[in-house]
């Protein structure tokens, strides 16, 4: 493997980069010398975060479900230089039961909203990243770029109430190998990380005792994951040319129970 720094002088797009796993990935990419374009909702802390991260970072407000917004993100990225990396972290939860407690059927609209952000949004980010990367000169190994998508262990063990979330994340897992095959002729790799329980603002909304008890459910280490541990794997995937078409669980061996 070419041990040279793959990131120096290149550009990365990080969706959901204003918070949590995306923000940690943006920080690691910057530390390696990449320029980073953070794509996150206009309502996010993206602008303040990019300011804090310095001149090599910028923020483009974007909803990952919008073709126009995401076109603007990749235009901004390719204006900065050669886009070699995508870390796609934007995502959301949203509980829906097939039969709600009052006996009514689960909301079709709520289901669609989660799938739209997590699954359509992933396809939107991936197709635009791939189209931009395909225009790159290949490196010595023939590679033009690499993409990391974010699923969840809920793709495999969805808990009660997680029908929309689990099915959207299973869609991301299902997309991974076929995307890698689809983009192989262009020298673009695609892998997915399926995180277990990570200590990010997503979980920070829960009371501390619940977060502690969630952490203790993890066989080893018996704690929540740190966002930087996700970022470390994301960068390894981007660096290692043999990783392709695979979803990697990052979960301390947890297997979620029905509830
Ligand atoms: N934290 C965990 O334990 C955990 C576990 C499994 C999977 N994940 C997945 O990891 C990803 C990142 O989660 P996190 O924990 O960092 O959460 P987070 O809430 O800290 O960050 C998610 C970011 O995505 C952004 N976002 C949401 N909808 C968006 C949209 N439509 N367009 C653009 N940006 C949007 C949010 O504004 C936020 O900044 C998500 O896809 C989540 O499903 C997280």
Ligand 1 midpoint to CA 40 (Å): 10
Ligand 1 midpoint to CA 78 (Å): 24
| CA–CA distance, 253 with 163 (Å, rounded to integer) | 22
Is the shortest distance between the CB of 203 and ligand 1 below 6 Å? yes
| CA–CA distance, 82 with 12 (Å, rounded to integer) | 8
Ligand 1 midpoint to CA 190 (Å): 19
Please name the helix (run of DSSP H) or strand (run of DSSP E) that holds residue 189, with its range, or none: strand 188-195
Answer yes or no: 156 catalytic.
no
Ligand 1 midpoint to CA 90 (Å): 5
- Which mutation among 13, 17, 20 tests ligand 1's pocket best, with the greatest number of atoms within 8 A of CB? 20
Nearest CA to ligand 1 atom 35: 90
Is the shortest distance between the CB of 40 and ligand 1 below 6 Å? yes
Could you tell me how far CA 193 lies from the centroid of its own chain?
A: 8
Q: pLDDT (tens digit, 0 to 9) for every residue of the chain, 259 residues total?
A: 656 789 999 999 999 999 999 999 999 999 999 999 999 999 999 999 999 999 999 999 999 999 999 999 999 999 999 999 999 999 999 999 999 999 999 999 999 999 999 999 999 999 999 999 999 999 999 999 999 999 999 999 999 999 999 999 999 999 999 999 999 999 999 999 999 999 998 888 788 888 888 899 999 999 999 999 999 999 999 999 999 999 999 999 999 999 8
Q: 3-class SS at 112?
A: helix
Q: Where are the domains of the chain?
A: 3-250
Question: Which residue in 10, 1, 3, 4 sits closest to 30, CA to CA?
Answer: 10
Q: 3-class SS at 73?
A: helix
Q: Where are the alpha helices (DSSP H) in the chain?
A: 20-31, 46-53, 67-80, 108-115, 121-133, 163-183, 201-204, 208-216, 227-239
CATH class entry, domain 3-250: alpha beta
- Which mutation among 48, 66, 87, 90 tests ligand 1's pocket best, with the greatest number of atoms within 8 A of CB? 90
| CA–CA distance, 233 with 231 (Å, rounded to integer) | 5
How, if at all, do strands 83-88 and 57-61 pair?
unpaired
Question: Does the pTM of the predicted model rise above 0.85?
Answer: yes
């Amino acid at each position: 493997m070419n041990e040279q720094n793959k990131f120096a002088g290149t550009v990365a797009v990080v969706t959901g980069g204003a918070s949590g796993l995306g923000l940690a990935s943006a920080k690691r990419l910057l530390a390696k010398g990449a320029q980073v374009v953070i794509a996150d909702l206009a309502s996010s802390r993206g602008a303040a975060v990019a300011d804090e991260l310095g001149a090599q970072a910028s923020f483009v407000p974007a909803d990952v479900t919008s073709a126009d917004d995401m076109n603007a993100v990749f235009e901004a990225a390719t204006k900065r230089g050669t886009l070699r990396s995508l870390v796609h972290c934007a995502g959301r939860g949203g509980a829906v039961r097939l039969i709600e407690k009052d006996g009514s059927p689960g909301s079709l609209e709520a289901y669609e909203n989660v799938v739209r952000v997590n699954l359509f949004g992933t396809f939107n980010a991936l197709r635009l990243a791939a189209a931009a990367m395909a225009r790159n000169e290949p490196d010595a190994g023939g590679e033009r770029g690499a993409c990391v998508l974010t699923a969840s262990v809920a793709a495999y063990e969805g808990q009660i109430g997680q029908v929309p979330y689990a099915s959207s994340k299973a869609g991301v897992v299902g997309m991974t190998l076929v995307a890698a095959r689809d983009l192989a002729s262009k020298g673009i790799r695609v892998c997915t990380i399926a995180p277990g329980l990570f200590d990010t603002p997503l979980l920070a909304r829960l009371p501390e005792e619940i977060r502690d008890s969630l952490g203790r459910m993890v066989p080893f280490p018996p704690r929540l994951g740190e966002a930087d541990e996700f970022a470390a794997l994301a960068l390894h995937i981007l660096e290692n040319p043999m990783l392709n078409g695979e979803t990697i669980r990052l979960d301390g061996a947890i297997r979620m129970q029905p509830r």
